[in-house]
Structure 1
Amino acid sequence: MTVARTLWQDNADLAEAARTHPFVRGLADGTLEEATFAGYVAQDAFYLESFARGYALGVAHSPDRQGLDAFADLLAGLREELRLHEAYATKLGIDLARVEPLPATLAYTDFLLATAALGDLGHLCAALTPCMRLYAHLGQSLAAEAHADRYADWIRTYAEPGFDALAARLENLLDRYARPGDDRTATVYRRAMRLEVAFFESAYRAGQPTTAG
């Protein structure tokens, strides 16, 4: 079994925690409040800028042409996801240039950039892969069940074969560059998965009404 497949299976508990999270279930049944979704879009757009820089550092640190081309293609693919966020921002009246990141967002972006800056491509791929594979998993899972139309564009984007192909390409890089027997790779991967679940939790809580007292 490949490194990427093993790590995904080892973190199935966190993938299920994301799939069953109230935020994700609200996307599926359409009950998620628009203001909560707008807050999520703003935070995710901020996060994706750091994700793009992670890809760029992957290009910079690649020791071979295969890695350089793959990271460059992944960076180009990310532009499509950013366009989705820009479309949502226009629709929802979000100024993406003025987003104030929540603590959970900063924890994730700081983790990604710190991992990328160290220059170990195996660890960088382990930090980046969970986001791509988890979103492909969520998109495909929600698309396969009855779901409301309200957030169908979000579901469709991450359920598309093209997005799955990008996730698979990043997993191939993880398999290529992860060092055999390196426990740090598994630690980085699980940390990224935990941060994914925390990101959904943060977006959900930020959208809940506050109570006095």
Structure 2
Amino acid sequence: MTLAEQLWSENADVVAEVLDNPFVRGIGDGSLDRKLFAGYVAQDAYFLESFARAYALALARSPDTATLLTFADLLAGVREELRLHESYASSWGIDMANVEPAPATLAYTEFLLATAATGSVGVVCAAMTPCMRLYAHVGTALDADTAGPYRQWVETYADPGFDEVAALLEKLLDQHVDDLTAARMAYRRAMRLELAFFDAALKPGP
């Protein structure tokens, strides 16, 4: 078992909580209130910009060319996710220009950016992997045929191409972790922040 597989297995309890979260279930069966989803899209776009910055910080500190180029590919993947959000914003009239980050969003972005600025490359990968692997897992766990207005969202994260991008990050995690305790703590913290992010999405914005 690789380290990435081990960390994912250790956090199966949080994965189960995410899949049982009313927000995630609402996406899967298409019943989620559209206003709640619109608020989530705006918050997630704000989050993804910080996610991209964390990749950039890790890229700048890459210890070898192969790692640098992989982070560059991962950074390009965030751009594709942001295009999905822009598509929703355009068709649903979501204001992406004046997003006020929710406390759960700030907690997650501040954790990622602080880790990317001060942690080793391996620990940065451990902090960022849960987002990628969890969304790939959620996408395949949900049924696009029942997701109704959220079909595009489900299909995006269920796509094998997204799984491949998540696997790239997991490969870097396996290669660069030299402090297992710190990596385990960062991974667990990110998983809990993911769950908190979905919980927060259930609350209507101002």
TM-score, normalised with respect to structure 1? 0.94
Q: Give matches, 1:23-62, under 5 Å.
A: 23-62=23-62
- Are 1:130 and 2:149 matched, yes or no? no
Identity of aligned residues (%): 60
Q: Deviations over 1:25-81 (max 9, x none)?
A: 000111100000000000000000000001111110101011100000010111111
Instruction: Tell me the distance in 2 between the aligned counterparts of 1:206 and 1:186.
Output: 33
- Is the CA contact 2:122–2:173 (under 8 Å) kept in the aligned structure 1? yes
- Is the CA contact 2:125–2:169 (under 8 Å) kept in the aligned structure 1? yes
- Are 1:165 and 2:180 matched, yes or no? no
Determine the structure 1 residue equivalent to 2:193.
Answer: 195
Unpaired runs of 5+ in structure 2? none
- Is the CA contact 1:125–1:173 (under 8 Å) kept in the aligned structure 2? yes
The amino acid of 2:96's aligned partner reads L
Deviation at 1:119, TM superposition (A): 4.3
Deviation at 1:150, TM superposition (A): 1.9
Instruction: Tell me the distance in 2 between the aligned counterparts of 1:111 and 1:187.
Output: 12
Determine the structure 2 residue equivalent to 1:149.
Answer: 148
Instruction: Tell me the distance in 2 between the aligned counterparts of 1:52 and 1:183.
Output: 25
SS at match of 2:63: coil
Moved over 6 A (4+): none
- Is the CA contact 1:61–1:119 (under 8 Å) kept in the aligned structure 2? no
- Is the CA contact 1:42–1:99 (under 8 Å) kept in the aligned structure 2? yes
Instruction: Tell me the distance in 2 between the aligned counterparts of 1:74 and 1:148.
Output: 27
Determine the structure 1 residue equivalent to 2:98.
Answer: 98
Deviation at 1:205, TM superposition (A): 2.2
